Structure formats: structure tokens, C-alpha cells
Amino acid sequence: MSQRWNQERKNEEYYKKAKKQDYRSRASFKLLQLNRKFKIIKKGNSVVDLGAAPGGWSQVALEAVGEDGVVVAVDLNRIKPFDEDNFWSIKGDFTQKDTLEEIQRTLQGKTQVIISDASPKLSGIKDLDQLRSIDLAQSVLQISDGILKYKGNIIMKVFQGEGYPELLKDIKKKFQTVKTTKPPSSRKKSGEMYIVGRGFRREGKKH
């Protein structure tokens, strides 16, 4: 009971921190911690945030890229704009070709970083939700072929379980280095894992 209470208190702590520091979501701290550890997003980078609503990750990405970078946020739901001029939002399904074309038009090319904290619509059935998460992560990986620059980087969320080892293998074919991690702000009881890929290879070729 004490351990559970401490964990719930910690989660509440991140919620309070988000309110205090004017972040849109407690999930903002996940990207803050991931980027502090892996340095995936740098000043001047272009970043595409897939499944971005309500904008917690985009907010952190905007801080990381600075005035010379660009952040393009994509979600089925409308994302409330930020004040920065280098932020664009696209309302659409990122698994669809027309949305990908709109991303490319907005970027005027390709991006240096893809980030995705996207979750499938949860049914409450653990196995089904986990498989949907794998499908969504595979979609993010496929999208990298169309919009990620050579030697680009990626951070994506996925739920562990069936299909997870195969997904990791697929990611390792496309990126020079791949790490899996769970930031401190992620709930311990959650099955979510974050995959960090560095050094995108063209068309999944090893060399």
C-alpha cells in the first residue's frame, strides 16, 4: 500500500508540476527527461510530432529547437496553437497519404526528428490495446520512410507485449542505434516503453 501510495503521489507531483510550469500535459516531462538523456532534439532542428494533442510534447520540442527550428504537430483532434511562429498544426490522420503529403508541404521537404507519444483508442482490453499500440508504432515507423531525413532520429511510445520484439527488430533495420527506456515520469504500472532510434538509414538498408 505504501509503495502504491508513493507512486500515485509521484504521478500527482508531475501533474502539479505541469500546471505550475504551464505545460499542457504531465507527459511533457517524459520528453524533457528523454531528450535530456538522449539529446535527440537539438537547436535548429525540424521536428514532426505524430499524435500530438493536446500538445505537451510539441511544447517541449519548441523549447528545444529554439527560434531557428520548426515543429509540426499532427493529430486527429485540433491542437490549440502556440504563440511561436515556428509551430504548425495539421488536423488529420497521420496514417493517411494526404496527411503525409500535407506534412511534407509544410516542412518543404523532410524532417530531422520524429516524435510520437501516440496511443490507440483504448478499449480497456489489455491484449487488444497492446496490439493496437504495436500497429500504431509500425505506422509511425513506416511514415519515417517518407518524411525522415537520412541520419534523422525518432522517439516513439509503444506498449510491451506480443509483437514488441518484432517491432524492435524492424526499427533496428532502419536506425544505426536503438535504445529502449522508461522515463521516471512514466507510471511504473504502465506497460509503455519508449524507443529511441538514432541515425536513420535510407530504405531500411544497413549500409
Query: Which amino acids are annotated catalytic?
Result: 157
**Grid coordinates belonging to 93:** 490522420
Q: Please say whether the beta carbons of 60 and 47 come within 8 A.
A: no
Within 10 angstroms of residue 10's Cβ, the number of other Cβ atoms is 14
For 162, counting Cβ atoms within 10 Å of its Cβ (0-12 exposed, 13-18 middle, 19+ buried), the class is exposed
Half-sphere exposure of 115 (CA within 13 A, CB side): 33
**What contacts 192, CB < 8 A, 6 or more positions away?**
157, 158, 159, 160, 182, 186
DSSP state of 118: -
Q: Where are the alpha helices (DSSP H) in 26-182?
A: 28-38, 56-65, 97-107, 126-147, 164-174
Q: Specify whether the backbone of 99 is left (phi greater than 0), alpha (psi in -120 to 50) or beta.
A: alpha
